[in-house]
A and B are shown apart, each in its own frame.
Chain A
Amino acid sequence: MLGKLLKYDLKAEYKTYGILYIVLILTSFLSLITSKILDNYPKNIVVEVVELIQKLFIAGIPVLSFAIFIVTLVFSINRFYKNLLKDEGYLMHTLPVSTSQLILSKFIAFFIWSIAAVAVVFLAVSIAAGGFEWINIFAQGYSKGFAGVNQQDFIKFNIYLIIFIVLTPLAFMSHVYLSFAIGQLSSKNRLGMSVLTFVVIYFVEQIVSTIITLLLPNSNVSFEYNSDIGFSKLTDYMLIGVIITLLVAAAMYIVSNVILTKKLNLE
């Protein structure tokens, strides 16, 4: 049943995302074409106009990329709310599937669209850059920034960083789900209650993470990235950050499941 739910969750949004992806890829192609024109023709009035257009395309790539990430986030939140907690919820919660499957399907759909967004942005940048060479340039520049640190720590740091980047939007979505799950318990202004819950959870998270940071040994030491000891400590702290984020996200996800299973309130 999870596969069927996921099929409909992906189907519900694919047209909107598809249009955005096409516009971004098209912008990248046009940016590449205009750049080739500029490379091959001597400067004249027409080429100057082309140069102006190319600047617009180049500016359009980060703007559209940002828009894709924002739209992915907003649409995924909207889909969860409308499909599970508004009128469509009357259908979804009477399907012969468990509430945990309903939530998991939304969560996986969000993850898939996030990966798709990253892939499309990556492709768009590569098209605009005329190949994949930019990755090497970026990787070299990035490594150079960490030249003085221990290689083993550098590898660990990058692994934690990747996990952290993947985990952050998922943790954010768990936070959103929990806010909706608590908000729907209210008999009045459920959306308002959800927003309020979101803010309260955010502040609690901030306070708790500040306390944890202060409790860590040598937390007042300022790190120097080219110092082995400082970087090693930073890597350790990053691992702690990843573990805490994972645990908090998992707890929020599980509590959302329990509330929507045991205390569903579609008034």
Chain B
Amino acid sequence: MSLAVCKNVRKTYGNKIALNDVSLEIEGGKIIGLLGPNGSGKTTLIKILSGLLTADSGEITISDNPIGVKTKKVVSYLPERTYINEWMKVKEMINFFADFYDDFDVQKAYDMLTRLKINPNDKLKTMSKGTREKVQLILVMSRNAELYLLDEPIGGVDPAARDYILDTILKNYNENASVIISTHLISDIENILDDIIFIKDGNITLHSTVDEIREQHGKSVDALFREVFAC
């Protein structure tokens, strides 16, 4: 059974088509790379799945429910920007997540904070952008969600933290859940991906497993991406 289904989803911003009749099925238990150049529609698709944007037309379901309160209960979303309440301390933000999400694992969050040497009593306002991004990732990955939507999770952090983040993603999603990672830093995440989706100008141009790509094209996902999206 598909975890998430998009049927003929269309979204425009004025005259610009962001998503053009996108149809897609996401199965459970996969790490999927949503890959495309800037402005290809990655973030728009993720925002529609998370309920931050409404599609102009089309049908979207997650665990058989249309986007709404029920889907938000099972979707864990990491935006490409800082979305946490800066007036709070880290521990208050943890309490906030625990208050609203039944699937939030407080202990897991504190364990990850300790490993990354982040003080729960620190105010988010005083933290660097990179540290705030790590806190956000910890919060998002401390949920036992069914679908994780991670929009550019490794864009703004140093390579050492990048490895930790990818490791965190791998270790913290359950086998029935799926993770959609949007990025253009393909070589960094290629090793952890099961499936890839290429998106270009609002159209899905390829949806395949990483193994199939290697077998059929005889090249890495990164090499294929450079070929398909060559300027």
**Measured CA separation A96–B68 after assembly (Å):** 8
Contact partners of A266 in chain B: CB under 8 A: 47, 52-53
B84 in contact with A91 (CB, 8 Å): yes
Contact partners of A97 in chain B: CB under 8 A: 69, 72, 100
Interface of A is mostly: loop
**Measured CA separation A265–B13 after assembly (Å):** 10
Q: Judge whether B85 is part of the interface by a CB distance below 8 angstroms.
A: yes
Across the two chains, which residue of chain B brings its CB closest to A7? B99
Q: Judge whether A98 is part of the interface by a CB distance below 8 angstroms.
A: yes
Q: Judge whether B153 is part of the interface by a CB distance below 8 angstroms.
A: no
A96 in contact with B72 (CB, 8 Å): yes
A90 in contact with B79 (CB, 8 Å): yes
B54 in contact with A263 (CB, 8 Å): yes
A264 in contact with B73 (CB, 8 Å): no
B83 in contact with A96 (CB, 8 Å): no
Contact partners of B99 in chain A: CB under 8 A: 4, 7
A93 in contact with B14 (CB, 8 Å): no
Q: Judge whether B77 is part of the interface by a CB distance below 8 angstroms.
A: yes
B53 in contact with A187 (CB, 8 Å): no
Q: Judge whether A165 is part of the interface by a CB distance below 8 angstroms.
A: no
Chain A residues numbered 106-159 whose CB sits less than 8 Å from any CB in chain B: none
**Measured CA separation A98–B51 after assembly (Å):** 11
Contact partners of B13 in chain A: CB under 8 A: 187, 267
Among A7, A96, A265: residue with most chain B CB under 10 A? A96
**Measured CA separation A87–B129 after assembly (Å):** 14
With A87-B83, A90-B52, A264-B52 as known contacts, state yes or no: A96 contacts B101, CB within 8 Å: yes
A88 in contact with B85 (CB, 8 Å): yes
A87 in contact with B87 (CB, 8 Å): no
**Measured CA separation A96–B96 after assembly (Å):** 12
Q: Judge whether A95 is part of the interface by a CB distance below 8 angstroms.
A: yes
B85 in contact with A94 (CB, 8 Å): no
- Indicate the size class of the contact surface on chain B: 20 to 34
B95-128 CB mask vs A (1 if < 8 Å, else 0) is 0100111000000000000000000000000000
Query: Nearest-CB distance from B193 to chain A (Å)?
Result: 24
Q: Judge whether A12 is part of the interface by a CB distance below 8 angstroms.
A: yes
B14 in contact with A94 (CB, 8 Å): no
Tell which of B53, B82, B100 touches A95, judged by Cβ atoms closer than 8 Å. Answer: B100
- Indicate the size class of the contact surface on chain A: 20 to 34
B85 in contact with A93 (CB, 8 Å): no
Chain A residues numbered 238-266 whose CB sits less than 8 Å from any CB in chain B: 262-266
With A95-B100, A267-B13 as known contacts, state yes or no: A87 contacts B51, CB within 8 Å: no
Contact partners of B47 in chain A: CB under 8 A: 266
Across the two chains, which residue of chain B brings its CB closest to A15? B87
Query: Nearest-CB distance from A22 to chain B (Å)?
Result: 19
Chain A residues numbered 23-64 whose CB sits less than 8 Å from any CB in chain B: none
With A91-B84, A94-B75 as known contacts, state yes or no: A267 contacts B53, CB within 8 Å: yes
With A95-B72, A96-B72 as known contacts, state yes or no: A4 contacts B100, CB within 8 Å: yes
Query: Nearest-CB distance from B150 to chain A (Å)?
Result: 13
Q: Judge whether A70 is part of the interface by a CB distance below 8 angstroms.
A: no
Among A87, A91, A263: residue with most chain B CB under 10 A? A91
Query: Nearest-CB distance from A145 to chain B (Å)?
Result: 47
Q: Judge whether A1 is part of the interface by a CB distance below 8 angstroms.
A: yes
With A4-B99, A12-B85, A88-B83 as known contacts, state yes or no: A94 contacts B51, CB within 8 Å: yes
A91 in contact with B72 (CB, 8 Å): no
Contact partners of B85 in chain A: CB under 8 A: 8, 12, 83, 88, 91
Contact partners of B40 in chain A: CB under 8 A: none
B81 in contact with A96 (CB, 8 Å): no
Across the two chains, which residue of chain B brings its CB closest to A98? B69
B26-59 CB mask vs A (1 if < 8 Å, else 0) is 0000000000000000000001001111100000
**Measured CA separation A30–B127 after assembly (Å):** 41
B60-86 CB mask vs A (1 if < 8 Å, else 0) is 000000001110110101010111110
B52 in contact with A93 (CB, 8 Å): yes
Nearest 7 CB-CB pairs, A to B?
A90-B83, A96-B73, A96-B72, A266-B52, A91-B83, A90-B79, A94-B77
**Which residues of B are in contact with A by a Cβ distance under 8 Å?**
13-14, 47, 50-54, 68-70, 72-73, 75, 77, 79, 81-85, 87, 96, 99-101
A to B CB contacts below 8 Å, 11 in the list? A1-B100, A87-B83, A90-B52, A94-B52, A94-B72, A95-B72, A96-B70, A97-B69, A187-B13, A266-B53, A267-B53
Known pairs A90-B52, A90-B83, A266-B53; list 10 more (Cβ under 8 Å): A8-B85, A88-B85, A91-B83, A91-B85, A94-B72, A95-B101, A96-B100, A97-B100, A98-B68, A267-B53
